[in-house]
């Protein structure tokens, strides 16, 4: 029985153009943004402040991560 050879073995991880180190920064940053928004909401900050803060910081994180990846 023959098995196909994985031609991508040894190559760095890449997802939608993000290389591995930036992929980890991106994922960790999104988790951090989510945690900050949840903690602020539980602490009693208005949802009208938490939601835009989450959207803006998430958008900034996406833009910054892809910009760093393009370098």
The answer to whether position 7 is within a domain reads no
Domain containing residue 54:
42-71
The answer to whether position 71 is within a domain reads yes
- 66 CB-near residues (< 8 Å, 6+ apart): 17, 18, 22
The answer to whether position 18 is within a domain reads no
HSE-up of 69 (CA within 13 Å, CB side)?
Answer: 19
Grouping H, G, I as helix, E, B as strand and the rest as coil, residue 2 is: coil
Q: Maximum distance among all alpha carbons in the chain?
A: 62
The answer to whether position 50 is within a domain reads yes
Phi (first) and psi of residue 13, to 5 degrees: -70, 140
Give the pTM.
0.74
**Is 8's pLDDT higher than 70?**
no
Q: How many structural domains comprise the chain?
A: 1
> Mind giving me the DSSP string for 13-28?
PEETTEEHHHHHHHHH
- Condensed to tens digits (0 to 9), the pLDDT of residues 38-71 reads 999 999 999 999 999 999 999 999 999 888 888 8
The answer to whether position 46 is within a domain reads yes
The answer to whether position 56 is within a domain reads yes
């Amino acid at each position: 029985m023959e098995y196909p050879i994985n031609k991508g073995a040894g190559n760095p991880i890449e997802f939608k153009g993000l290389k591995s180190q930036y992929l980890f920064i991106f994922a960790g940053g999104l988790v951090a943004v989510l945690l900050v928004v949840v903690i602020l909401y539980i602490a009693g900050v208005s949802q009208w402040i938490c939601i835009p803060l989450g959207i803006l910081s998430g958008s900034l994180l996406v833009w910054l991560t892809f910009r760093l990846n393009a370098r």
